[in-house]
A = this chain, B = another copy of it.
Amino acid sequence: MSNFTFRNPVKIIFGKDTISQLSKNIPAGAKVLVTYGGGSIFKNGVYDQVVAALAGFEMIEFGGIEPNPTFETLMKAVELGRAEKIDFILSVGGGSVLDGTKFISAAIPFEGGNEWENIVLGKSRYKTATPFGAVLTLPATGSEMNSGGVISRKETHEKYGMGSPLLYPQFSILDPTTTYSLPKVQIANGLADAFTHVMEQYLTYPVNALIQDKFAEGVLKTLIEVAPKVMHDQTNYEDMSNFMWAATVALNGWISLGVPSDWATHQIGHELTALHGIDHARTLAVVLPHLMRYKMDNKKAKMIQYAKEVWALNGTDDELVEAAIQKTTEFYESLGIPTKASAYGIGEETVQEIKKRFTDRKVKYGEKSDIDAAATEAILRMSIA
């Protein structure tokens, strides 16, 4: 394995009835900006629990952060936070609210202007951020235990990842019972998202990192095991607990230490969301199986390992590589998630637009920096064929 440095200071508070612990995890006397999304927290009782737990704190609210949170919306929260001189931000919701909150956290104390370029595109090495915590209501993105986020811009149909060591939540409260009323499509998306996060960090080339590989395989096997259960009954506490914790460790850094990462599927997927508004997780499902086929030669060793260790298959190398693609495709489809971009009406025009963007940006994604504009065109063509 390669040299690595790792530090993840997030405090995880996991389990039933843990939202009540909010008050002892926010600095006494803090003026708190509570951020949330479309209002599901009013229906599932989470808002009431948060308000009860924050009795004694001055609380300001900012709702309406959308899935794929936009710079335009988030800047309104930044202005509110600055005007109200808030001390702490509490994200209540899923990964989109939390990703948006990370941007708000960085932007509120930032005095250099042009927050899109400086904070989202990372041109500034900002030195402070407003502290924040999270109540997570959707297992999916892993944002609750990492320091990254993904922000979209409506104006230009762009979507970019951002991050800083300053943007770890102070704490994240994960109560699996908050997920019981999620729409089924969000459960499916969460499973697909977490699964793909692991694949991005695992399905590259072997570097003899035994712990990292076995942990990654353990997360994949857990997701595969719980997926049909939580799709059938999302009110089983044990199953939802396993799903929720799997989604967190899928992207909290533990499985990626000293190993190569891919992330090309995410980069291509972000364009499909930016251009067509397709749910993030669903864009991953229309890219990864085709990227696996496109890179089947240089991902061969890991694809064989994946077929054997994760899916318990045997066969010739070629059979295992083919099975790896097939099983991955079937996993997404089992969640009701298509694996062809054509299922969303996407055609050659979008392929060419993304090719053009990647050509302009001179991108080279993937663990071997071999996913450029031409490779992306080839992968997307398979997805619309």
Contacts and interface: CB of A to CB of B under 8 A. Distances in A.
A27 interface: no
A14 B257 contact: yes
B211 A218 contact: yes
Contacts of A225: 210
A219 B211 CA distance: 6
A315 interface: no
Interface string A1-42: 111111111111111111000000000000000000000000
Interface residues of A, number: 40
Contacts of A18: 3
Interface stretch (A87-95, A238-246, A357-365): A238-246
A132 to B, nearest CB: 16
Given A7-B9, A218-B215, A258 B210 contact: no
A22 to B, nearest CB: 13
A209 interface: yes
Given A7-B11, A14-B5, A14-B258, A222 B242 contact: no
B241 A222 contact: no
Tell me how many chains of this kind the complex includes.
2
Given A8-B8, A9-B9, A10-B7, A211 B242 contact: yes
Main secondary structure of the interface of A (DSSP, over half): mixed
A226 interface: yes
Given A211-B246, A245-B211, A6 B14 contact: yes
Contacts of A373: none
A214 interface: yes
Nearest to A21: B5
Interface in A221-269: 221-222, 225-226, 238, 241-242, 245-246, 249, 254, 257-258
Given A10-B7, A15-B4, A249 B211 contact: yes
Nearest to A171: B7
A316 interface: no
Given A208-B242, A211-B222, A218-B214, A5 B12 contact: yes
Contact of A1 (B1, B11, B211, B241): B241
A242 B209 contact: yes
B13 A5 contact: yes
A222 B210 contact: yes
A160 to B, nearest CB: 28
Most chain B CB within a 10 A radius of its CB, from A11, A12, A218, A225: A218
A17 to B, nearest CB: 8
Nearest to A220: B214
Contacts of A209: 241-242, 245
24 contacts: A3-B15, A3-B17, A3-B18, A4-B14, A5-B11, A6-B12, A7-B12, A9-B9, A14-B257, A14-B258, A208-B242, A209-B242, A210-B218, A210-B222, A210-B226, A211-B218, A211-B219, A211-B245, A214-B217, A214-B219, A214-B221, A215-B215, A218-B218, A241-B258
